[in-house]
Chain A
């Protein structure tokens, strides 16, 4: 790490080769595979990781640190996109704009998926809850790992995850198609 911070080209190259694929995966999970800015966001995240290394104090692994930076970068983009969409709705009710927001057949087909709902929550929940949700659901961290990576007490993490779970459930209940799919799944499990 010291060599990377000194600007050693070989060390930086090795470091980036190791983390960029991971960052890409994280950014794709948060933004969705077809987001047009995927590469740019991964690039900004990788640059932020390198720039942030002097501030890394050894809580958890470097990879955890890097992935958290990527989650936060990607979440910012989602939140910015969501804000722009809201502003567009407020500014204009032109028919064309309304049609832009209408779900296309592909979106309808994906309506029974949870991932889009999680992504939407990452853009709309308070930042602290969204971060806890992202670290757990996107990165698959345990409570202790989230606490260590984000420098938070365990109870705070548990509390934030509990609130995030409630928000997720509320969103699912508000989506008839998704609720139906989940109910069917439950029935199948019960029969099995």
Chain B
């Protein structure tokens, strides 16, 4: 039955109503505040629940974790691997202990979690799995203000987050700042993460980490409703990285930001570009659906 308001509302959200049903929906919504609230809540959740840049990597990680848990390792292989695994673990512990005692710098660096800048690919992967963004003179967003050097610096940090973030700002390398920012994001400290990513881009604008930070900042700002700033980050990332691993994420993020800004035609172009260049990406189905939903009426 397609007469109940719940059904009309649900079908409207999928774009499956004919003109007569749409009219009926409008009349019902106009006469019932409860129905209107429920419908509006559904529309809000549709908007907020759509895919975000970085989801591709997130979905892949979830998939791998489930597969590792569901599919047991073959017993024979496990037997062969076990002694080697134990031997490798013992060797690692021994070398790390020796490095600590002797103070041999290269070895300490090797076993440190925060030092040594990672290669480009590792940074790209980190950007996907955590949440990055930033660049040179990016995005004077609402929460940013110019520093003495003219570079935007975010200053609205929640008091509780301030001490940790301020300490992290003293990091001596882009790798350390990037790691601190990613850690803050994983802990759900979005403000702190944005502060650190912004600082990374301000202090080390030419670094690969600053480049990757554009994606994280775009994602964070998009999630927090700063579509214009997010768009700047995604656009800059795309202009600098024609074939990088995160390009599909950036195209999706750009389209989302443009949609939020009401620039429908440009958003459609970004979805189309995503589909043409990456027809098998995780975003493909969602992009098709967005294109269908935003199709101009004849």
Contact = CB atoms under 8 A, between A and B. Distances in A.
B10 A46 contact: no
A38 B160 CA distance: 23
B14 A117 contact: no
Q: Nearest 10 pairs between A and B by C-beta?
A: A36-B188, A29-B49, A114-B41, A16-B63, A165-B34, A142-B7, A20-B59, A115-B44, A142-B10, A33-B223
Interface residues of A, number: 55
12 contacts: A13-B63, A16-B63, A20-B59, A25-B50, A34-B190, A42-B58, A42-B62, A114-B40, A136-B38, A138-B49, A161-B38, A182-B33
Interface in B161-216: 186-188, 190
Interface of B: 1, 4, 6-7, 10-11, 13-14, 30, 33-38, 40-42, 44-46, 48-52, 55, 58-59, 61-63, 65-67, 69-71, 156, 158, 160, 186-188, 190, 223-225, 282, 285-286
Nearest to B222: A33
Nearest to B220: A34
B66 A16 contact: yes
A163 to B, nearest CB: 11
A12 B48 contact: no
A29 B48 contact: yes
A73 interface: no
A39 B129 CA distance: 10
Given A7-B70, A50-B66, A26 B10 contact: no
Interface of A: 7, 9, 12-13, 16-17, 20-21, 23-26, 28-29, 32-36, 38-39, 42-43, 46-47, 50, 100, 104-106, 109, 113-115, 117-118, 136-138, 140-145, 158, 161, 164-166, 168-169, 172, 182, 189
B276 to A, nearest CB: 20
Contacts of A140: 10, 13-14, 42, 46
A12 B71 contact: yes
Contacts of B59: 17, 20-21, 24, 42
Contact of B34 (A28, A50, A166): A166
Contact of A21 (B6, B7, B33, B282): B282
Given A113-B44, A118-B45, A137-B41, A24 B65 contact: no
B285 to A, nearest CB: 8
B33 A169 contact: yes
Given A25-B50, A142-B11, A189-B30, A50 B70 contact: yes
Which of B62, B71, B190 has the most CB atoms of chain A within a 10 A radius of its CB?
B62
B290 to A, nearest CB: 13
Which of B61, B63, B187 has the most CB atoms of chain A within a 10 A radius of its CB?
B63
A168 to B, nearest CB: 5
A87 B285 CA distance: 42
B282 A137 contact: no
B158 to A, nearest CB: 6
A6 B211 CA distance: 44
Contact of A165 (B30, B35, B190, B223): B35
Nearest to A165: B34
Contacts of A164: 38
Contacts of A142: 6-7, 10-11
Nearest to A115: B44
Contact of B48 (A33, A47, A182): A33
Given A20-B66, A46-B62, 10 more contacts: A16-B62, A36-B188, A50-B66, A100-B160, A113-B44, A140-B14, A140-B46, A145-B10, A164-B38, A165-B37
A145 B49 CA distance: 20
Contacts of A145: 10
Contacts of B69: 47
Nearest to A23: B62
A35 B188 contact: yes
A143 B10 CA distance: 9
A136 to B, nearest CB: 6
A118 B39 CA distance: 12
Contact of B66 (A43, A143, A166, A169): A43
A168 B264 CA distance: 32
A121 to B, nearest CB: 9
Contacts of A38: 58
